[in-house]
Amino acid sequence: MKIEEITLYHVAQRLKTPFVTSFGAQQARQCLLLRLRAEGVTAWGECVATNSPGYSYETVKTAWHVLSDFLIPSILGQDIEEPDELAGYFKGVRGHPLAKATLDQALWDATAQRDGVSMATKLAAPYKEGPRSRVPVGVSVGLQASLAATVATVGEYIDKGYRRIKLKIKPGKDVAVAAAIREAFPDVALMLDANSAYTLADASLLAEMDQFNLLMIEQPLGYDDIYDHSQLRPLIQSPLCLDESIHSAEHTRYAIVMGACDIINIKPARVGGWTEARRVHDLCVEAGLGVWCGGMLETGIGRAAQLALASLPGFTLPGDISATERYYEQDVTTPFELNREDSTIDVPTGPGLGIEVDEAYIETISLQQERFNV
């Protein structure tokens, strides 16, 4: 497919409620959206880099620079048949996985449309079983002002139909928070996400979490660490999940060899796109590690692609792909809704991402845009 035109949008949306983690609070969410046109097909990608470099060193400004000055020029006018060819065009750019994932997603969308299949079906092509029609999902609850507020917020999400709750924690807001939720909701699937807020010296505190029958503890130690997690794992009973420190299939291999985790949160943007995310998935399945799909407050464009990935056979744990109404009053696509009876979301079945994109609305929330033509 000849890449004929790419348009980059810097957009801003307001979250319905502030999302608070150990990095800080976020309510005004910025991201990049990318429209790609190739041989009559219009495809979309989303860059989840946001306002600040808390989760990743990439921000909307750095991603705009890398995309507009390096990545987009490298593929504009080129004939690219499959997404895995992108790595060859990107080899001159070290790092910047969130920026690279934007184009990777758009190529998966474009080539799936060309092939007349959904992105989920195209991703599942190597496996004996096709993609799931629904994927189990949960909700991530940010740090709240009090224990009572945390219990109330979790209760609201359970009432909406969510069966898995992820709580953000940090030093000083950890054991008591988990205890309050477990007491109020003894049967809910519960996990804790530390976003790298602890060190190995906190092992005894993290072991206290074992009493709460957790689904997992996610990334308690350093954001770039694998080794210390391998030392922590034998000291706790709760399944240990890695997130920030897994940036590629190679990092996944390191974690497997070191015995650093039981589970990996596969965020496709963090590993450079859906092509690499599928490789991570395959390594985890082979090694017997659990996998699930994490979220980055995506719009419907990114959420559709997440659902496609999470429909693969290894994704047996509920992901952070909540319904649209969890995040935005108005989204850039038709809404994704929660199936209350089983805490799932339907995987789009139309060609490519299988969604309708509201380009007029994107124009209204766009802070900056640039078009690149052959």
For the chain, how far is it from start to end, CA to CA, in angstroms?
13
Which of the residues 100, 166, 170, 267 is marked catalytic? Answer: 267
Residues 6+ apart with CB under 8 A from 368: 9, 10, 64
One-letter identity of residue 36: L
Coil, helix or strand at residue 139:
strand
Q: Is 170 a catalytic residue?
A: no
Q: How far apart (Å, rounded) are the C-alpha atoms in residues 153 and 343?
A: 17
- DSSP for 73-137 reads HHHTT-B--SGGGHHHHHTTS-S-HHHHHHHHHHHHHHHHHHHTSBHHHHHTTTSSS---SEEEB
Q: How far apart (Å, rounded) are the C-alpha atoms in residues 293 and 166?
A: 13
Q: How far apart (Å, rounded) are the C-alpha atoms in residues 164 and 152?
A: 15
Write phi, then psi, for 262 (nearest 5 degrees): -105, -20
Q: How far apart (Å, rounded) are the C-alpha atoms in residues 137 and 43?
A: 25
Is residue 141 within 8 Å of residue 193, measured between CB atoms? no
CB burial of 244-260 (b: ≥16 within 10 Å; e: otherwise) equals bbbbbbebbebbbeeeb
Which of the residues 122, 168, 170, 173 is marked catalytic? Answer: 168
Q: Is 61 a catalytic residue?
A: no
The sign of the CA dihedral 82, 88, 89, 94 is: positive
Residues 6+ apart with CB under 8 A from 13: 28, 29, 30, 299, 328, 365
- DSSP for 142-172 reads ---SSHHHHHHHHHHHHHHT--EEEEE-BTT
Based on its alpha-carbon atoms, the radius of gyration of the chain, rounded to whole angstroms, reads 20
Residues labelled catalytic: 168, 267
